[in-house]
């Protein structure tokens, strides 16, 4: 991980360790912003992929990809007991490099400027989208700090410090290898998300809940038949991270997550049968912008 990402995690750990009377502390999670409330977010994503056995790459070749995503969410109304939230990606910045070579900027504005509108319940769960655009889910990901998926929901009852609770949502990571590597890969791997309330810090104008999570991704096996031949793959991995929920912001004000996926792919290629492997190591840092 980069130094600043470790810094975020260290602050979270220190705050969790310093919380007094943790055993007696509880926290009620509620999403209750007022209409018109605005939250601006910044997300940084860094992924490093290491390849072995791919025909068009030397063993140990790496691909690094970095992205920065600026967005905002605004509560635009109330509807059937839920809050109507509009999420927008304002701008993105992407770059990549191969084997420690020079960085190359990559233009990608596919999600920029296309608002997604959804209804959110008091438990921070998405009860429905107003539109059916295929990108709505991706545009809404920064609302959940890139971690809480569309099935996410806080418990209805108070949570005690030290308690772990299922969040309903799933961690998901997309793993890819372009055709230029000699074996194309494009899969999504999931893991069930459970959160642990590590500590609560109460301030005069706010209350912060410090949360952590870790677990294994659900093993995934794929197979397909194409004109170029048959291919199959197996994918396993783990994830871990921390989040901070703010009662006054009604948002995850900071967070860091790391996901590692190990993949093994067998494919029929013009060069013959190929057995390749890759490791995708992704770190995401998220924060609210004042």
Q: What is the mean pLDDT of residues 177-181?
A: 87
pLDDT band at residue 6, thresholds of 50, 70 and 90? Answer: very low
- SS in 3 state form for 81-124? CEEEEEEEEEEEEEEEEECCCCCEECCCCCCECCCEEEEECCCC
pLDDT band at residue 28, thresholds of 50, 70 and 90? Answer: very high
pTM (two decimals): 0.86
Closest CA to 211 of 147, 289, 157: 147
Q: Per-residue pLDDT for 14 more than 60?
A: no
Lowest mean pLDDT among 22-26, 41-45, 53-57, 128-132: 22-26
pLDDT band at residue 44, thresholds of 50, 70 and 90? Answer: very high
Question: Which pLDDT score, from 0 to 100, does residue 8 have?
Answer: 41
Structure-block tokens of residue 216: 């294994």
Q: Per-residue pLDDT for 21 more than 50?
A: no
User: What percent of the chain has pLDDT above 90?
Assistant: 71
The residue extents of the domains of the chain are: 3-289
Question: Which pLDDT score, from 0 to 100, does residue 24 have?
Answer: 67
Q: What is the mean pLDDT of the chain?
A: 89
- Alpha carbons 240 and 256: distance in angstroms, whole number: 9
pLDDT digits (tens, 9 = 90+) for 236-249: 999 999 999 999 99
Lowest mean pLDDT among 6-10, 122-126, 175-179, 257-261: 6-10
Q: List phi, psi (to 5°) of 178.
A: -70, 160
- Alpha carbons 92 and 244: distance in angstroms, whole number: 24
pLDDT digits (tens, 9 = 90+) for 91-135: 999 999 999 899 999 988 888 998 999 999 999 999 988 877 888
- Alpha carbons 99 and 109: distance in angstroms, whole number: 26
Class of domain 3-289: mainly beta
pLDDT digits (tens, 9 = 90+) for 62-98: 999 999 999 999 999 999 899 999 999 999 999 999 9
Length, in residues, of the chain: 290
pLDDT digits (tens, 9 = 90+) for 138-172: 999 999 999 988 889 999 999 999 999 999 888 98
End-to-end CA distance of the chain: 25
Q: Per-residue pLDDT for 3 more than 70?
A: no
């Amino acid at each position: 991980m980069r130094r600043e990402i470790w810094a975020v995690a260290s602050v979270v750990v220190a705050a969790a360790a310093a919380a007094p009377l943790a055993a007696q502390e509880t926290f009620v999670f509620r999403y209750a912003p007022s209409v018109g409330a605005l939250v601006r977010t910044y997300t940084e994503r860094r992924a490093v992929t290491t390849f072995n056995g791919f025909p068009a790459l030397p063993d140990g070749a790496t691909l690094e990809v970095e992205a920065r995503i600026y967005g905002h969410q605004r509560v635009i109304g109330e509807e059937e007991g839920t809050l109507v939230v509009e999420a927008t990606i304002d701008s993105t910045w992407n770059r990549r490099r191969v084997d420690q070579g020079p960085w190359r900027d990559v233009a990608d504005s596919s999600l920029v400027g296309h608002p997604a509108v959804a209804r959110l319940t008091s438990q921070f769960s998405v009860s429905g989208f107003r539109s059916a655009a295929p990108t709505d889910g991706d545009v809404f990901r920064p609302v959940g700090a890139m971690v809480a998926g569309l099935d996410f929901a806080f418990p209805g009852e108070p949570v005690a410090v030290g308690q772990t609770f299922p969040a309903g949502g799933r961690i998901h990571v997309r793993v890819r290898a372009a055709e230029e590597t000699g074996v194309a890969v494009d899969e999504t791997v999931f893991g069930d998300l459970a959160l642990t309330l590590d500590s609560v810090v109460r301030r005069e104008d706010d209350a912060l809940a410090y949360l952590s999570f870790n677990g294994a991704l659900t093993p995934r096996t794929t197979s397909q038949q194409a004109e170029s031949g048959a291919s199959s793959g197996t994918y396993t991995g783990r994830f871990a991270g921390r989040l901070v929920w703010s009662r006054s912001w009604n948002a995850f004000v900071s967070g860091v997550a790391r996901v590692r996926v190990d993949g093994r792919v067998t494919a029929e290629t013009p060069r013959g049968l190929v057995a390749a492997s890759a490791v995708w190591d992704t770190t995401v840092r998220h924060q609210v912008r004042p």
